[in-house]
Amino acid sequence: MRHQVCIIGGGPSGLLLALLLHRAGVDAVVLERRSRDYVLSRIRAGVLEQGLCDILRKAGVGARLDAEGFVHDGTLLVAHGRRLRVDFQETTGKTVTIYGQTEVTRDLYAELDRIGAKVIHEAEEVAIQDADTEAPYVLFTLNGEEKRVDCDYVAGCDGFHGVSRRTIPERLRQQFEHVYPFGWLGILSRTRPLQDELVYAGHERGFALCSMRNARLSRHYLQVPLTDTVEEWTDEAFWAELRRRLPPDLAEVLEIGPSIEKSIAPLRSFISEPMSWGRLFLAGDASHIVPPTGAKGLNLAASDVWYLSQALIARYAGEESLLRDYSAKALARVWKASRFSWAMTRLLHSFPAEGPFLARMQAAELEHLADSHAAQTSLAENYVGLPY
């Protein structure tokens, strides 16, 4: 088979890229290793920057987002005796929207089905060939039979463990990584959210986050050692620890209930450069991972997809400069967003091995935030999303 663009990975970034390209008349096929049911079962973040919301609307999949998403004008930080609400709307004129990543993926699938775009699931043993030539192609196995896609360009949206990044010769890749000495234990529960906006809590026992998916579905997190396992944490133990890490008035009104999903995710910062090689272009987790503290994972993938879609569309209109500049442009935003995620993680988590100095610096930083409108504006600008 032949398509202009072969997209590896059928998560939200790959599906969004396919939809944007199809809207502009560029033919793309998506290869996804897992089944559609598996993709839709993934529990992921749901804080969408205004830029991502705008992209989804431009792609024609904003109706349910606008009808069901929860618009947040700010967020609450509580730590070191301080309680600070950062007002996004007042400082930046922008907002974020709470809308689950699974719902974004569902909307993208529905629209791609409607327009007849090709998404091939359970494509195994994917191999990208001749990416550094003018005639790249992709091999894969489907139902035990080898298949081939000839294409002009390959877009690697297949995540950290995918084949795309590893296709770029190791001698040409420069990788930067920081692994944090803890993870996030998260639960999903059919309970009322703690507040109308997210609550980020720093505590000497560790970080906590109270988030939500909708008015009756909450997502809460605790900082835990990497040695902990899900089996060690009963629902009762989780709720008791979350209450310990919240101010008493918030702990008192926290609604608890049985978990319907529970997992532990390690935290890391990772960036691989460059994001292109020949006719292969990386987007999202295939090139970079951020800790979830700043809610940048999906949003950063979306900005990659926006840059790449516009560059490919321009290429088929006869303009090649955007494609040549894609890696540098995307990486500039990647590094800035990664800095913000790193800074938020350092500000709010407990690092016992680093001693009392860091804790005092965290307290001083929060005091500075509380006293400085400029500092709050800077935090808000990064949280709602830097311009594309």
Residue 321, classified by CB atoms within 10 Å of its CB into exposed (0-12), middle (13-18) or buried (19+), is exposed
Q: Find out whether 74 and 87 touch, Cβ atoms under 8 Å.
A: yes
Asked whether residue 128 is domain-assigned, the answer is yes
- Pairing outcome for strands 74-79 and 199-201: parallel
- Cα distance between residue 155 and residue 144, in whole Å: 24
Q: What is residue 385's predicted lDDT score, i.e. its pLDDT?
A: 97
At 44, the pLDDT band (50, 70, 90 cuts) reads confident
Active centre residues (catalytic): 72, 200, 292, 296, 383
Each residue's pLDDT tens digit, 296-311:
999 999 999 999 999 9
Asked whether residue 365 is domain-assigned, the answer is no
Q: What is residue 213's predicted lDDT score, i.e. its pLDDT?
A: 87
Each residue's pLDDT tens digit, 371-385:
999 999 999 999 999
Asked whether residue 39 is domain-assigned, the answer is yes
Two structure tokens written together for 127: 């191999």
Asked whether residue 123 is domain-assigned, the answer is yes
Q: What is the arithmetic mean of pLDDT over 47-56?
A: 97
Which range marks the domain in which residue 284 is found? 5-70+95-177+268-345
Angle at which helices 101-115 and 12-23 cross, to 10°: 40
Q: What is the arithmetic mean of pLDDT over 9-30?
A: 98
Domain count of the chain?
A: 1
Residue 256 in this model has a pLDDT that exceeds 90: yes
Task: Kindly report the CATH number assigned to the domain that includes residue 112.
Answer: 3.50.50.60
Q: Mapping DSSP to helix (H, G, I), strand (E, B) and coil, where does residue 372 land?
A: coil
Asked whether residue 353 is domain-assigned, the answer is no
Each residue's pLDDT tens digit, 320-341:
999 999 999 999 999 999 999 9
Helices (H), the chain: 12-23, 36-41, 50-58, 63-68, 88-92, 101-115, 163-167, 235-245, 248-253, 297-316, 321-348, 356-371, 373-384
Asked whether residue 158 is domain-assigned, the answer is yes
At 46, the pLDDT band (50, 70, 90 cuts) reads confident
Q: What is residue 56's predicted lDDT score, i.e. its pLDDT?
A: 98
Asked whether residue 374 is domain-assigned, the answer is no
Asked whether residue 220 is domain-assigned, the answer is no
At 98, the pLDDT band (50, 70, 90 cuts) reads very high
Q: What is residue 186's predicted lDDT score, i.e. its pLDDT?
A: 96
